[in-house]
Amino acid sequence: MAHRSTQIRQLLTKDLPLDKAAPQLRYAIKRALAGHEADRLQSLARSLVADLKRQNLLFRVAIEGQSDGRHDYFLVRDTDRLLDLAILRPTAEPIDLPSASDLIPPMPRPAIPDSPPSNSLVDFVGMLGAMEHAQDLEIGFPQSGETGTILDSILRLLERFTPQFDLYVLLFGDEILPEGPRRVFNIDPAEQASGWLGLRKPTFSAYIPTLEELPRFIRQRYPDPDRQRTFASAVAVPLYQPLEGTSLDEKGSAAGLLFLVAHERWGKKPLLRLAKRLSSFVTRRWQHQREVNQRIHTDSLTRVYNRAFFDSQFTLELERAQRAERPLSLVICDIDHFKAINDRYQHHNGDRILKMVARCMREELRRIDHVCRIGGEEFALILPETDPEAACEVMGRLVNTPFREDIIHQGTTELVTVTCSFGVATFPAGGADAFELYRKADAMLFLSKDLGRNQCHFWNPQGDHYQLKPRGED
């Protein structure tokens, strides 16, 4: 009994936000704590939980593997604290409070009701608000910056809190999609051309009362006896991609559609309001995840991508090229005589040279290209949709780029000019997998260095590797 009283006192003094309670309740709790009124503390604590719940400051959550009825887990808004409030039960029954988890239908699933459960929208929207304030509940897959992977991780997070719904994203572009159970799909051109997807304006939402109107990739998942997944109705709302370098409240163009499939009848307007709220949440998480990926994948010195990004992104870009049967070129670059530059001008000036070279290469490439620093003075360029002729045009610009930087050496300003050596291999002729393509591009780099540096070589299967030098040189 003493242990139980100690636990309740800790909840009231440390774990629950007592300062958010109604004034009279807060005063009563403080009096009971000061007077050691153990008999009143449990009932006052239950009143505090109910008050916080009404203010959307406390939310019941379901924890996977903890469905034995011995726990009552609650999330405190604006924190990542997860509290087990089973200690407050007067009997063996759970705390009787309306919450999002109360909407989980018992198994087997009952008949579909004619109207949504009471207070469900308030609880659900409130729960989303709490999750937005606890962004560290789950970070997606930081090893990948792919849109499909990021969105899949967000839907998996929401799935834990929304067992009464199924969530899917239909993307308008051709994105690399994660393996495993599919929540994210690319739009089917045939359905877009013939169905309501093609008639819908980009900013319009849609109410879907029948299963037949769902896109094929989603429709084929119903019914699912193993998960007792049923279809009552669905809505589709625009999903906007976040804008780079802006606040979380700003959004860009429509990236696709978010589908909310309900297992029970909720009505058109409640579902649309809920789906729009979810879409906003997904966009915010998307930007948060992208910023995390940016920090993880950016070289701290040159601000281009790092080796970790290259290892994952090169494989993904090659998979995309293979699927679309489109070319992809890989360039390996090395700054000539960089050790001598470091020895003569010292390392801090060597760093300035590295940053200058990275900046110049980035300025010569497209937004869809990737500049990666993969070693000390070694860079890799990933050029999607680039065949040998286009790669030759790109390298023609790079070998003629003046890599120059003003540095201060021994008290005077000196203009330092450096050159670079390059090697290029292009898919599919240059190799069918990432290792083979990298090996051949690297071999072409060493050929350029062996033949005098400051040039580029292009691999070809006949062995007649084309050489490209700066203008004015033989």
Mean pLDDT value across residues 346-371? 94
3-state helix, strand, coil in the chain (%, to 5): 45, 20, 35
Percent of the chain at pLDDT exceeding 70 = 78
Q: How far is C-alpha 460 from the geometric centre of its chain's CA atoms?
A: 38
Helix residue ranges, H only, 298-372: 307-324, 338-345, 347-364
Mean pLDDT value across residues 90-101? 40
pLDDT at 111 over 80: no
Q: Calculate the average pLDDT of the chain.
A: 80
Pairing between β-strand 73-76 and β-strand 82-84 as defined by DSSP bridges: antiparallel
What is the sign of the dihedral through the CA atoms of 94, 98, 103 and 105? Answer: positive
- Return the higher-pLDDT residue of 131 and 417: 417
- Return the higher-pLDDT residue of 64 and 89: 89
- Report yes or no: 427 and 441 within 8 Å, Cβ to Cβ: no
Q: What is the pLDDT of residues 235-245, one digit of tens each?
A: 999 999 887 65
Name the range with the highest mean pLDDT among 57-71, 82-96, 439-453. Answer: 439-453
Mean pLDDT value across residues 85-112? 44
Q: What is the pLDDT of residues 434-450, one digit of tens each?
A: 999 999 999 999 999 99
What's the token pair of residue 96?
């009787």
pLDDT for 457: 96
Neighbour tally for 174: CB within 10 Å: 12
The Cα–Cα gap between 14 and 88 comes to 16
Conformational region of residue 333, where left means phi above 0, alpha means psi within -120 to 50, and beta covers everything else? beta
Mean pLDDT value across residues 192-219? 83
What the chain holds in terms of domains, given with CATH numbers, is: 1-88 (no CATH), 121-297 (3.30.450.40), 307-468 (3.30.70.270)
Mean pLDDT value across residues 282-301? 83
Q: What does the radius of gyration of the chain's CA atoms come to, in whole angstroms?
A: 29
Neighbour tally for 73: CB within 10 Å: 16
The Cα–Cα gap between 427 and 436 comes to 10
Mean pLDDT value across residues 251-268? 86
